[in-house]
Amino acid sequence: MNSLPFVSPWRTGTLYALMAISIITVIGQLIRLQVVEHEELTALAVENRQARINSPAPRGVIYDRNGVILAHNIPSYDVIITPAELPEDDLRLQEIYQRIAAITGAPISTPPLDAGDVSSNRLGENAPPPGITEVVFIQESIAPYESVVVASDVPREVALTLSEELRNLPGVGIQITPMRDYPTGALTSHVVGYMGPITEAAKDFYIDRGFDAFRDKIGYSGVEAFMQDTLAGQNGSKLIEQDVAGLELRVIGEVTNPKPGESIVLTIDVQLQAIAEGALRQRMKVENQYRNGQPVTNGVVIAMNPQTGEILSMVSLPNYDNQQFARYIPIDYYTELVNHPHHPLLNQAISGLHPPGSVFKLVVASGALQEGIVSSEQFINDPGEIEITNRYFPNDPGKTRKVVCWKRDGHGPVDFITGIAQSCDVYFYALGGGYDDGGVTNGGLGIDRIYQYATWLGYNQITGIELPGELSGLVPNREWKRINIGENWSTGDTYIASIGQGYILSTPLQVLNSFTPFINDGALIKPTIIREILDGEGNVIEAFQPRIIHQTPIKRSIIEKVSKGLQQVMVDGTGDRLQPIDGITLAGKTGTAEYCDNIAQQAGRCKFGAWPAHAWFVAYGPYDNPEIAILAFVYSGEEGATVAGPIVMDIMDAYFELQNIKKIDSVQ
């Protein structure tokens, strides 16, 4: 009788233990999948089965005040391939690729790495484009039912030629996408701006608002950026069910159609913009031909309706061509602009900070007259230079120093109107800081009241114009100097501030806007670049209305006195040599502001008593009912009356000529 083979108990126990562990593992895995991670895995399954398709909204158009298109959308033609629809026959596939390559110029295969400049390849610029074969292969492995672009932004003629052959090119198609276009280019680039891709930092913000972060673009500067929400509209979407290869099976969610962006009519007149740029550019060219030393590199012209705040032209030189950024931002061009010493990307009209010089004297003139520092009939003698005592605190014995007038032999007895008309520095030293020998024994206006009146006239604050990057400038006071310079305010600081020098900085737009209270019975007007907002059918849904920043407490009688002084500037003052305009009475103010920035320091031009100077000039007219005010600023222009003045007068003359032509056309 044969006995059964002996099996040791430990082997039996081990077998049972392994069986138990396996059963427990399977049960644990089932519990994890069915209970613990049920919701998460279900969500993943739904996500794999469902997809939300985002449809782009057409962006709004930007027009000038006369309907000239400044920014709009044009069709961009892309050649696309859907890998799942391509024939399986390799020979037929190569025929399709060869035909696309022959028509569009796109390579069939990716060129080798040394086909382009290596340094450019690192930047992604001028690198050989990827070949059709590789692009399709990658897309087929990811989502074969989704199309991929193999030739982007092809000419319309190429797209039409290819579209006629699509029946013989299975899997190939033409995709039309909107592309931003800037017909006026550099002429309006600082106002209109440009667009760029959504950055990684802003991605979540825009995704939450319905954007496709990998496809959509947003405004980067100018009106394109400031009015982004208005222009962009709202993307559409639909929820679909798809198979594992990405093939759309059916729509399972509500379909939301894209809402087109609203269009914007600007206050800018492109014709006047071109005239203004031409006048500024020509004057800068002339100055550079006949001067030695630092060249004239930057300039600004702004024209506005001073009664409404509408900006008619805004020029900042040097500028840039935003049409270069219409399709993508070229790294080489953008890097050149960023590293340019004269900052062409910067809109100097709202972001350039410079000492205003004599155009700031309106602050001191109105403040001194209203506060009773002087009367309008009182004369102050200007000998060409006066001696002041510079004190840092009331009991400080101080040190004496001399301050001079721009006219070194002096203007003699000067009253209020003459002080403005001749821009007499000694007169304004007396108004701002006092001049005992000249009859101003009350200590003058003082920095605290200068600060107050400057604020009332729009300095030390942004105007609120609809452009990004506007700076608020600087009008210092005692507290500012203690915090930023680390010393007390001195009487000498007050004298220098009285003529718009020292620590005072302003933007050209602030300077121009500071004249509006003397035109509008004390009202400081809000400048605007937006005239109308239109819906998709061109209907006005929001029209511009003039807005007042605030009503200054300057008395009407004082406003009239200051205005009379500004008119006298053009009669027998610092602007009397400028060519008058027939039939038009103008008022204005010249300004020559000494400066010493890092550029002047590096050039060794900051020499005491002979510093370089910026040129300013502001004029408005007709005097009795002003419809236009124009400012010209020329960096290192030296003399306001002879450099900035002719620019303004050329533009002013052209403006009134255009108005006469329009009147004649309207009658006919």
Interatomic CA distance for residues 644 and 574, integer angstroms: 12
Residue 412 lies in a domain: yes
> Which of the residue ranges 83-87, 118-122, 284-288, 566-570 has the most confident prediction, judged by mean pLDDT?
566-570
pLDDT of residue 524: 98
pLDDT of residue 284: 94
In the chain, the amino acid numbered 271 is: Q
pLDDT of residue 33: 62
pLDDT of residue 252: 66
Residue 247 lies in a domain: no
If asked whether residues 45 and 139 sit together in one domain, one would say no
Kindly indicate the confidence band of residue 344, based on its pLDDT and cuts at 50, 70 and 90. Answer: very high
| Tokens coding 117 | 């400049």
Residue 639 has pLDDT above 80, yes or no: yes
pLDDT in tens, 229-257: 999 988 887 666 655 545 556 666 677 78
Beta-bridge mates of residue 438: none
Strands 587-594, 613-621: pairing kind: antiparallel
Interatomic CA distance for residues 519 and 621, integer angstroms: 10
| Residue whose C-alpha is closest to residue 468's, from 218, 209, 263, 206 | 218
Residue 346 has pLDDT above 80, yes or no: yes
Residue 575 has pLDDT above 80, yes or no: yes
pLDDT of residue 476: 96
pLDDT in tens, 367-414: 999 999 999 999 999 999 999 988 888 888 889 899 999 899 999 999
Interatomic CA distance for residues 197 and 199, integer angstroms: 6
Lookup result for tokens 């030393």: 293
Boundary residue ending a domain (167, 183, 199): 183
In the chain, the amino acid numbered 403 is: V
If asked whether residues 512 and 651 sit together in one domain, one would say yes
Per-residue pLDDT averaged across 545-555, rounded? Answer: 96
> Which of the residue ranges 79-83, 95-99, 293-297, 429-433 has the most confident prediction, judged by mean pLDDT?
429-433
Residue 45 lies in a domain: yes
Boundary residue ending a domain (183, 206, 229): 183
Residue 130 has pLDDT above 90, yes or no: no
Domain total for the chain?
3
Name the residue range of residue 514's domain.
270-667
| Cβ neighbour number for residue 359 with a 10 Å cutoff | 28
If asked whether residues 140 and 19 sit together in one domain, one would say no
Is the pLDDT higher at 222 or at 106? Answer: 222
| Residue whose C-alpha is closest to residue 617's, from 595, 643, 636, 635 | 643
pLDDT of residue 124: 39
Kindly indicate the confidence band of residue 357, based on its pLDDT and cuts at 50, 70 and 90. Answer: very high
If asked whether residues 110 and 42 sit together in one domain, one would say no
pLDDT of residue 119: 38
DSSP annotation string for 582-615 = TTB--EEEEEEEE---HHHHHTT---TT---EEE
Coil vs helix vs strand at 283: helix
CA 320 to centroid of chain Cα atoms: 12
pLDDT of residue 455: 98
Boundary residue ending a domain (151, 183, 215): 183
If asked whether residues 357 and 282 sit together in one domain, one would say yes
pTM: 0.86
- Cis geometry, peptide bond prior to residue 622 (ω within 30 degrees of 0): yes
Interatomic CA distance for residues 567 and 521, integer angstroms: 16
Least confident of 10-14, 73-77, 124-128, 303-307: 124-128
pLDDT of residue 395: 84
- Integer-rounded Cα Rg, in Å, for the chain is 35
| Residue whose C-alpha is closest to residue 412's, from 438, 376, 431 | 438
If asked whether residues 534 and 385 sit together in one domain, one would say yes
104 — phi, psi (to 5°)?
Answer: -100, -20
pLDDT of residue 651: 98
Is the pLDDT higher at 269 or at 341? Answer: 269
If asked whether residues 40 and 110 sit together in one domain, one would say no
If asked whether residues 310 and 378 sit together in one domain, one would say yes
| Tokens coding 582 | 């027939």
- Give the chain's end-to-end CA distance (angstroms, integer): 134
State the average pLDDT for the chain: 88
If asked whether residues 604 and 534 sit together in one domain, one would say yes
Kindly indicate the confidence band of residue 40, based on its pLDDT and cuts at 50, 70 and 90. Answer: low
Beta-bridge mates of residue 454: none
Kindly indicate the confidence band of residue 597, based on its pLDDT and cuts at 50, 70 and 90. Answer: confident
pLDDT of residue 46: 54
pLDDT of residue 50: 63
451 — phi, psi (to 5°)?
Answer: -60, -45
The DSSP 8-state label assigned to residue 344 in this structure reads: T
As a whole-number percent, the residues of the chain with pLDDT over 90 amount to 61
- Contact at 8 Å (CB) between 403 and 386? yes
Residue 39 has pLDDT above 60, yes or no: yes
Residue 157 has pLDDT above 60, yes or no: yes
Kindly indicate the confidence band of residue 123, based on its pLDDT and cuts at 50, 70 and 90. Answer: very low
Beta-bridge mates of residue 403: 386
Coil vs helix vs strand at 560: helix
pLDDT of residue 6: 57
Residue 250 lies in a domain: no
Per-residue pLDDT averaged across 82-94, rounded? Answer: 90
If asked whether residues 145 and 32 sit together in one domain, one would say no
pLDDT of residue 302: 98
Q: Would you mind telling me the total number of residues written for the chain in this entry?
A: 668
Residue 353 has pLDDT above 60, yes or no: yes
If asked whether residues 40 and 162 sit together in one domain, one would say no
Residue 39 lies in a domain: yes
Residue 200 lies in a domain: no
- Contact at 8 Å (CB) between 601 and 629? no
Residue 219 lies in a domain: no
Residue 503 lies in a domain: yes
pLDDT in tens, 432-468: 999 998 889 899 999 999 999 999 999 999 999 999 9
CATH number reported for the structural domain that contains residue 346 in this entry: 3.40.710.10
pLDDT of residue 36: 67
Q: In 369-506, which ranges are E strands?
A: 380-382, 385-390, 399-404, 412-414
If asked whether residues 522 and 657 sit together in one domain, one would say yes
